[in-house]
Amino acid sequence: MTSDSPRNCARAFVVSLLVMAGIVDVLNANESGYAVWPHVVVLVLGFAALLWPAGRRPDWFTPQLRTGLPAVASLLFTAGSLLLHAQAPFGLGETAILLSLLFIAVRHCPQPWAMICGALNGAALLGTPARFYQDDMSSLMGFMMAALVLIGLVAGLAGYLRALDYRRIMTVNATRRSERVAIAADLHDFVAHHVTGILVQTQMARMMATTEPENLDTVLAGIERAATEALASMRRTVGVLRDTGPDAADRRPVGDLAGIVELTDGFASPVQHVTLDRDPAVPDDLPHEVQAAAFRVVQEALTNVRRHAADATEITVRLRHDGRRLEVGVTNDGRGGTQLPAAAHGGGFGLVGLTERVTALGGDLRAGPPAGQTEGWEVRALFPTGKA
């Protein structure tokens, strides 16, 4: 037995009860000597609206048509009975159909049709007792009050579920937007980092081609490595965009503290020396999101060194942990000299996105000259880690 079997059984049971109630309506009308065909028309339209399989409904059979047509037929039946002063019964089958269609109209019809079709079904349900109790106002009012209570309960439940559906849709859309922003940040952090390195090393290779041709192979190897890493990062990110499986988010190209070692090793060049100063007190089991954000801080800071401080010769990456917070610092001794084209300087979105990423984790990010110095630049981030 599949997991859908109980649901299918319950649905079949409800459909059986609804059909039986409709048959009872027709039989009662026939045995009491009333015209049967108006009941049959209303019931057939209602059953078609409720029981037509969703996968086989034509495009023109919209929710507003499904819920509006049976209600209009029921209203015409009631109006004809009143105009001709011909008494006609009402039954449980028609009542159940109108309540079901009221629920569908309020929950699923687009605006403003939800209000229009809901009002039609509510009016049709309120009018059904008037066919039989045309001269008995006390009984008519009693049945109409009961109908009003049922209408309020069904419409309220449908409206509540519609609000939940709307919230769910808004949450899904917000999640998708957040994921797109995160993927854009990944593209910026990884690809821009590698491409900027390629640009710097290409400039260096052009200068060394005439002055130090014997050392050119090392620079070209760095360019090749950076290009390979950029393509790999792009491939991983595109893979995440294409993958819709449940584990797609886990395969996003994020980094960790261990990746900072590779990051600093790959950044070093013949004219720039990078030192990784990691305190042994920094644990390896910090929360993954903190490690990923720390990796981004180092990556963005190193990328900005290439963009805005190409004259820097000493770069220090610092990791500290005081038991409660992780400190990540990147300091360089550059004076702001750069030979990159203006188009390669970036649009200033790197630090903005980095600040959002850090503050989202309850951390703090600062960028500016190191304390007590007038030259150089430091990017410093503090992350709460929850460790005592």
Domain of 272: which CATH number?
Answer: 3.30.565.10
Q: Which of 119, 135, 151 is the last residue of a domain?
A: 135
List, for residues 162-197, the tens digit of each pLDDT value: 999 889 888 877 766 776 676 666 666 666 666 777
Rg of the chain taking only CA atoms, in angstroms: 36
Does residue 216 sit within a domain? no
List, for residues 302-350, the tens digit of each pLDDT value: 888 877 777 888 899 999 998 889 999 999 888 765 555 544 444 444 5
The total number of structural domains in the chain stands at 2
**pLDDT in the model for residue 150:** 93
**pLDDT in the model for residue 316:** 92
List, for residues 46-81, the tens digit of each pLDDT value: 999 888 888 888 888 899 999 999 999 999 999 998
Does residue 188 sit within a domain? no
Alpha helices in 36-136 (DSSP H): 37-51, 63-83, 92-108, 113-132
Could you tell me the strand order of the sheet in which 314-321 lies? Answer: 273-278, 314-321, 325-332, 377-384, 364-368
Q: What is the pTM of this model?
A: 0.53
Does residue 15 sit within a domain? yes
- The residue ranking higher by pLDDT, 242 or 327, is 327
Q: Judge whether residue 136 has pLDDT over 80.
A: yes
Q: Judge whether residue 291 has pLDDT over 60.
A: yes
Element (H, E) at 332: strand 325-332
List, for residues 10-20, the tens digit of each pLDDT value: 778 888 888 88
- What would the mean pLDDT of 7-33 be, rounded to a whole number? 83
Contacts 24+ apart (CB under 8 A), 51-54: 51/15
**pLDDT in the model for residue 163:** 93
> Token pair of 20, please?
């039986």
Q: Which of 113, 135, 157 is the last residue of a domain?
A: 135
Does residue 236 sit within a domain? no
Distance, in Å, from the CA atom of 203 to the CA atom of 214, rounded to the nearest integer, reads: 16
Does residue 18 sit within a domain? yes
Distance, in Å, from the CA atom of 362 to the CA atom of 21, rounded to the nearest integer, reads: 61
Q: Which of 66, 100, 135 is the last residue of a domain?
A: 135
Average pLDDT, the chain: 80
3-class DSSP state for residue 371?
coil
Q: Does the CA dihedral 72-73-75-80 come out positive or negative?
A: positive
**pLDDT in the model for residue 251:** 46
Does residue 262 sit within a domain? yes
Residue 1 binned pLDDT confidence (cut-offs 50, 70, 90): very low
**pLDDT in the model for residue 361:** 78
- b/e code 163-177 from CB counts within 10 Å (16+ = b): eeeeeeeeeeeeeee
From residue 46, alpha-carbon distances to 93, 102, 103, 110, 358 in Å are: 10, 11, 13, 20, 57
**pLDDT in the model for residue 262:** 84
Distance, in Å, from the CA atom of 66 to the CA atom of 53, rounded to the nearest integer, reads: 12
Does residue 300 sit within a domain? yes
Question: Residue 99 belongs to what domain range?
Answer: 5-135
Does residue 206 sit within a domain? no
Taking residue 77's Cβ as centre, other Cβ atoms within 10 Å add up to 23
